[in-house]
Structures are given as C-alpha cells and as structure tokens.
Structure 1
Amino acid sequence: MRSRTTTWFECKIRYEKTMEDGTQKKVTEQYTVDALSFTEAEASIIEEMSAYISGEFEVRDIKKAAYGEVFFSDSPSADRWYKTKLQFITIDDKTEKEKRSTVNYLVHAGSLPEAVKSIDEVMGGTMIDYVIASVAETQIMDVFEHNKTLGNKTEVDDRPEYEQEASGEEAK
C-alpha cells in the first residue's frame, strides 16, 4: 500500500463509448488527476484520456477534490475507489475534552472490507487515535498521477521543470 499527498482534481469526461454489444453510447465518466491548477488538471486529463479514447471527448467538469491523500493498492483485485472520512481524536490540553478533526482520503480497493483493511494498515503504523466515520464507493474510474516515464520504469518526479532541465533531463 502506497500513499500520495498532493492536490487532486476530479474531472468528468463525456464521450461515445463502444458497449459490449457493439453499440455506441454517450457516457460520462469521472477520473481524478494530480495537478497544481484547474488548467493543469484539464491538460492532464486530456493527455491521459487521449490514449484510451478514440474520437472526440469533452471535459464536462473539473472540481478540486475534498481529499488531499490517496492510498494506492497493489492488489490485482483493487478496481474501485472509496472515499473515506476519518476522525482523528486528540485531547484539548486546556479543557481536557476529546476533540475530533475530520480528514478525507481516497482509497483503492476491491471491496468495502478491503478498503477498511487498507485504512487500518496505513493508519495502524501511526500513533494517531482515529475512528473511521464513513467509507463510500465512488464513481471514480481511475486516478492519474503526474508521472515521468523513463524506459520501462515510471516514477513520480516532483521537481520543478527548471531543475530537470538543469540536470540535463527532459522536462515532461
């Protein structure tokens, strides 16, 4: 299980999809991309989807995601995305009362119990007391990270473009 904290944008794409029976149907699908701005999110989703969609498509909606961190699963059965709400429990030093702060995450898993197990796996390694307030399956089809491809190896490159150019690497 790997996690990534960044700014995420949820994008809706509308296009004509070829169904299993060979008919064409207009569908709207939701994806999540890693980007710094709405403009970058739009460019990123267009680039990513151009490889999968033949023909025209349009970006119908882009909104900033309510979560800042995504948990990625390596399991081959992980084909769904779950929006989870965790409440972190702290004790207020002055009033000595329990205080809860809510944080949202996106979790990649094959089922709801797997999503809960993944949360416990990631959060169990921390010293933070937490409660899982909710776990709900989303309509998100896939999550695209800002990647840099080197041969057969793909790695996330967080350096600014000028640093990549200064080191002689091609900025993507």
Structure 2
Amino acid sequence: MTEWRDAAAFFLTSVPEDDERWLRSLSRTIGLRSDGLRFDDNSRVLPCEWAGLESRAQLLGGSRGSILVVSYFSREFRDLARQPDRWRGFCRLFGRACLALSPTVAVALGTISDDIPSDIRAIEAPVAEQDGAWLRSRPYALSYLCPELDRAALEESPASSFPSVVLADGGRVTWDWEYDDFPE
C-alpha cells in the first residue's frame, strides 16, 4: 500500500554535526515532539509529532546546506487545513519555525506524494539559484522567503496573486489555500 505523504521543508545554510541531537532539540524551538521515540540510525529519520500531525523529521544534504524535512500523512494535513483553528495553529507554527531556523526558503508543499525527498530535490535548484520569483509563484500551501530573497523576488516580479504577510525578521510568508488571512 502506498503511503501518501506531504511535507514542510526548511532550506538551511548550516549543516548540524549530529542530526539526531539537533532534530531532538527542535522540540524547544519549533514544537517538534519526539519524547520517547527512537531515532532510526539507518534511515536517519526521527518519528515525531508536529502541529498535531504524526510526522517524521530528517535532514537531507543540500547543495547550500541542510534541508530539514518534516513529513506527515497527506490526508491528516488536508483534514487539518479544513479546520480553521487547526490551520491557523499550523500557520503560526510554520511562521515561528521560519523565525527560529532562519531558512533561506521554507515551504509546506500542500501536495500528495509517495516520494517526498524527490519533491524536495525538485525545489532545491531554484533555492540554490536564489530564484525567488519562481519560488514565490508556486502554489504551495505555505512558503517563506528570507528578507533578501523576498526583496529580489518583489523587484523581479512585483505582482503576486497569493496573499502574504511579512514576519518579524522581514521574510515573507505566502499561501495558496482557502484561508485569506494569516494569523498573528
């Protein structure tokens, strides 16, 4: 049976030395809960809970640093997104994660996939090329561009059909889902 998943990915410029320890430390910074769960040394995956979703966290090596991938079941994410209070909670958590991790780019895909790492790799080239206009134009559930990349994207293509909000660090979150506001 195919396991359909969705994911949030945070493109980081640093590479943590000990991925298990670093992933476990995320409970303090982004609310990733993994207490009592075993890190899989073979797959380098940490089972966890994030935003009330049964999840898996892992670090992938990227061309410009590491990519934190938190994957969850697509059906559960779709159910969450249909509930305004839970969706707002997820948006807040995503925004706090962007502020805490300072990624260049972050996305909550809003997709259905049986190969999340390949889906993330498809985004890696535009991230490495700093193609903010392309990234900003994609219909992700949520996306974040760091301040510098957001400014460049706005200069290249000022119009966007997606609603957005600027976070405290100057980075911008956009979304292409049914809700027209981003919770404070």
TM-score (norm 1): 0.26
TM-score normalized by the length of structure 2: 0.25
More helix, by proportion: 2
Higher strand share: 1
Larger Rg: 1
